[in-house]
A and B are shown apart, each in its own frame.
Chain A
């Protein structure tokens, strides 16, 4: 039982990490970013490369510094496109460009901080070994979620973000919608790359993973509904439960489970499970 819980927890954290940034980028700013996975992977690559070279604290700071420089670049890039189809095209090209750059800069090996994380030791929970790194990662992600909560529900900017995510044109009556959207792009990209860095403590990064990550991110976002990050978090939890249950009881379905979840949700509640007003476009 403990093992099943640990499995659920780990996969939930994984899904949450990849999809939270997407909630801001698509949920608020409605930017279709096909290169989302590439930013996640970039965070992981950078964190691994810098931390192994510079040590944990300087490496982490260096990573954060580099990651902070990314959002403006992406923002400027996206501003060049005029409609959703051009965005699709341009971000697809960006995904390819980034994958190519990964090969040139990082090479073909596996990058992971899991060894560093393992060095932290493990706790014994109910007779099973649970690494401290898992708890630490949970704390980091929870901290980020708390920050987002404070931002979205306790600040003006957050209010504007929620309004713009709900109905952009109506919000424009009082809110500078474009500015809010630009800021959420910044936030989303930074959060994604940062979470990619955090995820390096349990997963390995190599060429070709950017595209896989993208599908999971979009799935969690769409299942939860585009309106809020709690929806995305709840969707991640739901999919994690489904996948853990499937592996425990009927493992042959594992390949299909996320797609079946997407189809089921989009058939029954197209707006997502956790939206109040179903807006399907």
Chain B
């Protein structure tokens, strides 16, 4: 009986998949290398009724603190887009999946969204490991526009992993590190000693390495007293705080996030760390809302106060809409999501206009996206031929749970030029 059940499952699943419309396969012509992709379209461009947008981000687990605001922004934007004319007349429909389970589940989810659910574009992924796992698969399948909206690994660019259909509309750990280093040297030109406190995994190590290299290149006489790496989700930072209190550095660099950031801030405040040392928080916006003391340096890819909503109406509208719907100002993952979704929308629209068709095929969209520059709530995004965005960063000083003395580091100040390896460029600052 059991074997019949399993056989029935297999046959049933096979038959139902036959009934689903096959996603049109784009076969690449030309050589097998990834250098010059040429596509032949199989189906003629036709107006579509529905634009399926797949969104994959953390809805559970500790990283949901990033994922849920991003999802909120996605829902907000999709509603706005649908009210304001849709994408080429197609109603945008969100298909959401949770980013939990590890990189191999994310590969499965990517395939499910592109091959089974037939999404027209895929926006996703906060974790760098997930991005690095999905990128080769996306390039291999090659049928769907894939946009990474938040992951910060520089490997995607340095290894040239995004050549065909994969894009990232955000900055890397280099962006964060160089922006923070530049700002630190502006507000603390006499900084002499620094200690790093970061989580022990690729993101923490990359953030620290990029900050340290940038700082040491620009001011070689700075001494690194110690580099502390803590396990992810370690709830107790008392040992690290003790060590920092003993070492007495001028500056502490940290890229802690989520419960680790909260625990560190609370425990450090209780022990009086902030009276003794200044802390530079990479991507530290969430610390502002969890009781970060005044006068700390905070860097973020975005901040709701920049560009000033009073002067820049796109940000004003976004912030007001987000607050009225979700109750608090949008944090930077929301801006990241906005960058990605608006990029997808504009890429399709511009490609359709340029090709003068009702619905552009993927090769046209890719060609346009590579050189697209567009305005977003968080200023503007410039896409480059290496499929990564040239993005700046916002740095400021914390005061009363807000960021003041905002300075925007322009993209060219904090990102390597196209074709130059990140580490090489940092050493040449």
Contact B230 A254, beta carbon cutoff 8 Å: yes
Within B203-248, the residues touching A (CB, 8 Å) are 226-231, 233-236, 238-243, 245-246
Taking Cβ atoms with an 8 Å cutoff, the residues of A that contact B are 3-4, 6-11, 14, 99-100, 103, 108-110, 112, 114-115, 117-118, 122, 128-131, 133-134, 202-209, 212, 243-244, 247-248, 251-252, 254-255
30 A–B contact pairs at CB < 8 A?
A: A3-B245, A3-B246, A4-B239, A6-B242, A7-B238, A10-B236, A10-B238, A14-B236, A99-B60, A103-B59, A110-B262, A112-B262, A114-B266, A118-B266, A128-B272, A202-B236, A202-B266, A206-B62, A207-B62, A208-B63, A208-B64, A244-B239, A247-B228, A247-B240, A247-B242, A248-B242, A248-B243, A254-B200, A254-B231, A255-B200
Contact A115 B231, beta carbon cutoff 8 Å: no
Q: B241 to chain A: which residues have CB within 8 Å?
A: 3, 7
Q: B240 to chain A: which residues have CB within 8 Å?
A: 247
Q: B68 to chain A: which residues have CB within 8 Å?
A: 108
User: Quick one: which of A9, A122, A205, A254 has the most chain B CB within 10 A?
Assistant: A254
Contact A255 B242, beta carbon cutoff 8 Å: no
Q: B238 to chain A: which residues have CB within 8 Å?
A: 6-7, 9-11
Q: B235 to chain A: which residues have CB within 8 Å?
A: 14, 203-204, 209, 212
Taking Cβ atoms with an 8 Å cutoff, the residues of B that contact A are 59-65, 68, 200, 226-231, 233-236, 238-243, 245-246, 258-259, 262-263, 266-267, 269-272, 290-291
Contact A247 B259, beta carbon cutoff 8 Å: no
Contact A110 B65, beta carbon cutoff 8 Å: yes
User: Quick one: which of B59, B235, B263 has the most chain A CB within 10 A?
Assistant: B235
Q: B228 to chain A: which residues have CB within 8 Å?
A: 247, 251
Inter-chain CA distance A109–B334, complex, in Å, is 16
Q: A249's closest neighbor in chain B, by CB? A: B243
Inter-chain CA distance A205–B242, complex, in Å, is 22
With both chains docked as a complex, state the minimum distance between the C-beta of A262 and any C-beta of chain B, in angstroms.
15
Query: Which of B231, B234, B243, B270 sits near A114, CB closer than 8 Å?
Result: B270
With both chains docked as a complex, state the minimum distance between the C-beta of A107 and any C-beta of chain B, in angstroms.
8
Q: A254 to chain B: which residues have CB within 8 Å?
A: 200, 229-231, 234
Q: B266 to chain A: which residues have CB within 8 Å?
A: 112, 114-115, 118, 202-204
Inter-chain CA distance A78–B59, complex, in Å, is 30
Contact B239 A110, beta carbon cutoff 8 Å: no
User: Quick one: which of B60, B231, B233, B236 has the most chain A CB within 10 A?
Assistant: B236
With both chains docked as a complex, state the minimum distance between the C-beta of B346 and any C-beta of chain A, in angstroms.
30
Query: Which of A14, A117, A252 sits near B270, CB closer than 8 Å?
Result: A117
Query: Which of B61, B62, B231, B272 sits near A122, CB closer than 8 Å?
Result: B272
Inter-chain CA distance A3–B228, complex, in Å, is 16
Tell me how many residue pairs across A and B have CB atoms closer than 8 Å. 126
Q: A209 to chain B: which residues have CB within 8 Å?
A: 62, 233, 235, 259
Known: A11-B238, A110-B65, A251-B228. A202 touches B267 (CB 8 A): yes
Known: A244-B239, A255-B200. A207 touches B61 (CB 8 A): yes
Contact A247 B243, beta carbon cutoff 8 Å: yes
Inter-chain CA distance A14–B302, complex, in Å, is 35
Inter-chain CA distance A54–B125, complex, in Å, is 39
Q: B63 to chain A: which residues have CB within 8 Å?
A: 208
Q: B64 to chain A: which residues have CB within 8 Å?
A: 103, 108, 207-208
With both chains docked as a complex, state the minimum distance between the C-beta of A202 and any C-beta of chain B, in angstroms.
7
Inter-chain CA distance A49–B230, complex, in Å, is 28
With both chains docked as a complex, state the minimum distance between the C-beta of B401 and any C-beta of chain A, in angstroms.
12
With both chains docked as a complex, state the minimum distance between the C-beta of A171 and any C-beta of chain B, in angstroms.
37
Contact A208 B242, beta carbon cutoff 8 Å: no
Query: Which of B227, B243, B258 sits near A3, CB closer than 8 Å?
Result: B243
Contact B271 A129, beta carbon cutoff 8 Å: yes
Q: A15's closest neighbor in chain B, by CB? A: B236
Q: B270 to chain A: which residues have CB within 8 Å?
A: 114, 117-118, 122, 129, 131, 133-134, 202
Query: Which of B59, B242, B262, B269 sits near A7, CB closer than 8 Å?
Result: B242
Q: B69's closest neighbor in chain A, by CB? A: A108
With both chains docked as a complex, state the minimum distance between the C-beta of A70 and any C-beta of chain B, in angstroms.
22
Inter-chain CA distance A172–B60, complex, in Å, is 45
Known: A243-B239, A247-B243. A128 touches B271 (CB 8 A): yes
With both chains docked as a complex, state the minimum distance between the C-beta of A38 and any C-beta of chain B, in angstroms.
14
Q: B233's closest neighbor in chain A, by CB? A: A212
Known: A130-B271, A207-B60. A251 touches B231 (CB 8 A): no
Inter-chain CA distance A114–B168, complex, in Å, is 38
Query: Which of A9, A108, A130, A202 sits near B65, CB closer than 8 Å?
Result: A108
8 A-B pairs closest in CB distance: A3-B242, A114-B266, A129-B272, A10-B238, A247-B239, A208-B61, A204-B262, A7-B239
Q: A247's closest neighbor in chain B, by CB? A: B239
Inter-chain CA distance A103–B234, complex, in Å, is 21
Inter-chain CA distance A204–B272, complex, in Å, is 18
Inter-chain CA distance A209–B260, complex, in Å, is 11
With both chains docked as a complex, state the minimum distance between the C-beta of B128 and any C-beta of chain A, in angstroms.
18
With both chains docked as a complex, state the minimum distance between the C-beta of B201 and any C-beta of chain A, in angstroms.
9
Q: A7 to chain B: which residues have CB within 8 Å?
A: 238-239, 241-243
Q: B286's closest neighbor in chain A, by CB? A: A110
User: Quick one: which of A7, A103, A130 has the most chain B CB within 10 A?
Assistant: A7
Q: A202 to chain B: which residues have CB within 8 Å?
A: 236, 266-267, 270
Inter-chain CA distance A207–B89, complex, in Å, is 39
Q: A252 to chain B: which residues have CB within 8 Å?
A: 229
